[in-house]
Copies of this chain bind each other. A is one copy, B any other.
Amino acid sequence: MAPLYLALMHFPVYDKNGQVVTTAVTNMDIHDIARVGRTYGVRRFYVVTPVLALRELAARILAHWETGYGALYNRTRRDALAIVSLTEDLDRTIIDVERNAGAAPLLLVTSARTRQPTLTYAALRRMIRDGDRPLLVVFGTGWGLTEDIIGRADHRLPAIRGIGTYNHLSVRTAAAIVLDRVCGSREEEEEACT
């Protein structure tokens, strides 16, 4: 199976007016996506921000749950947060994946605004099952990844669609849905298709 990595970018992303901004690192994003990543076998989940003070704050919170009182209080939280790494930008994240996996990752982006996906979820599912090249799936905070980051990607995944045109999910829930689509147990669907 191809090793899977996630990155949550806090810069460069758009705000609601289309300006490029740096968003705040939030505790809830780290915890929720770490738990999802841990559930679906993600090797590392990178929280990416250029703001040193926010990386230090996040590191202190992680330490509380990993080695402080929190590790005794809630072991499932510690197990999830063990996959979290803090990085400064996308380039350093890619380098870290390469060091960890032994090969440069394919870069995959998701966006609620994706117009022309280049890869279906089913195809990514097969790439994970049958491949060995590491895969780095990148999510944006705020109003989403900049065109610059999207342009660097090897593949664009389809926007998550439900019923109708509303597709304003939180990044936490979008990440959960993407991971379940590509790594979730699909026994029932296989049964339904036969």
Contact, CB under 8 Å: B122 / A36: no
Instruction: Determine if A39 and B162 form an interchain contact, defined as CB atoms under 8 angstroms apart.
Output: yes
Interface members, chain A 105-134 (any B CB < 8 Å): 120-123, 125-126
CB <8 Å contact, B161 and A120: no
- Chain B residues contacting A174 (CB-CB under 8 Å) are 176
Known: A122-B191, A180-B160, A188-B120. A170 touches B32 (CB 8 A): yes
Q: For residues 153 through 194 of chain A, which have their beta carbon under 8 Å from a beta carbon of chain B? A: 158, 160-164, 166-170, 172-177, 179-181, 183-193
From A161, which residue of chain B is reached at the shortest CB distance? B185
Task: Determine if A39 and B122 form an interchain contact, defined as CB atoms under 8 angstroms apart.
Answer: no
A74 to B168, CA, bound (A): 11
Q: Which of B74, B121, B163, B173 contacts A32 (CB 8 A)?
A: B173
A164 with B32, Cβ < 8 A, contacts A120-B188, A189-B122 known: no
> How far is the CB of A180 from the nearest CB of chain B, in Å?
4
Copies of this chain per assembly: 2
Contacts of A39 in B (CB 8 A): 160-164, 166-169
Q: Are A172 and B35 in contact (CB under 8 A)?
A: no
- Are A169 and B74 interface neighbours, CB within 8 A? no
Contacts of A161 in B (CB 8 A): 39, 184-185
Residue among A74, A126, A161 having the largest count of chain B Cβ atoms under 10 Å: A161
Residues of chain A touching chain B, judged by Cβ–Cβ distance below 8 Å, are 16, 28, 31-32, 35-36, 38-41, 74, 76-77, 79-80, 120-123, 125-126, 158, 160-164, 166-170, 172-177, 179-181, 183-193
